[in-house]
Amino acid sequence: MTTHEHAQQELVVRGVEDRRRPARGLSRLLVLVLAVFGLVLLSPSTVSLIRDPMSAPVLGSLNVVAGLLYLLLAVCVAHNGRRMRIIGWMTLATLLTGAVLFGLLTWTGTAMELSASVWADGGRKHLYLPLLLPLVAGVWMWFSDPRRIVVTAERMEGLGQSISGRRAERPRPGRRPGE
């Protein structure tokens, strides 16, 4: 038997079972709010681009992109995988950059033609949701990161073991160390 055949026989592929519990409560509410907000932004912008594509194509396209980004963020928040988290963080960065940049440009009056944008004045027309939703989603993604949770649990377990180890090593009052 050659080494290649031997290596193929030793290779065992096992299925991976996801044992994490499904998301409940506030995370589902956050996903719902992000998805609804994305649809609220996407629908009118898409309709206006289809009906009158020459009126404000850049602004309409930016609003369509914002709606799609919020929908993508909803999917990323709902899915707890490593790759989706990376995409989620990039989406968050894009949404926050757009909200801050467009907000500053419209607050200072340097780009008044952007006043119909979703991100104009930091999202004032939409109750500042374009600025707040990515922040809330970012906090949620940070606190629900499985890697961070595992590292914290391992630290706590190690701390508990070291404390219990110290208690076992310390002699009790009134007894000699060998008893």
User: What percentage of the chain exceeds 90 in pLDDT?
Assistant: 32
> How far is the CA of 124 from the CAs of 4, 13, 54, 147, 166, in angstroms?
65, 53, 26, 36, 57
- 177 assigned to some structural domain: no
* Rounded mean pLDDT, 98-118: 83
- 146 assigned to some structural domain: yes
Kindly tell me if the per-residue pLDDT of 143 is higher than 80.
yes
* Rounded mean pLDDT, 46-57: 88
CA distance 77 to 133: 12
**Cβ count near 79 (within 10 Å):** 14
Q: What is the pLDDT of residues 112-139, one digit of tens each?
A: 777 778 878 777 888 888 889 999 999 9
- 147 assigned to some structural domain: yes
- 12 assigned to some structural domain: no
- 49 assigned to some structural domain: yes
- 89 assigned to some structural domain: yes
- 47 assigned to some structural domain: yes
Range of the structural domain that residue 66 is part of: 25-167
Question: In the chain, how many domains are there?
Answer: 1
Q: What is the pLDDT of residue 166?
A: 65
- 176 assigned to some structural domain: no
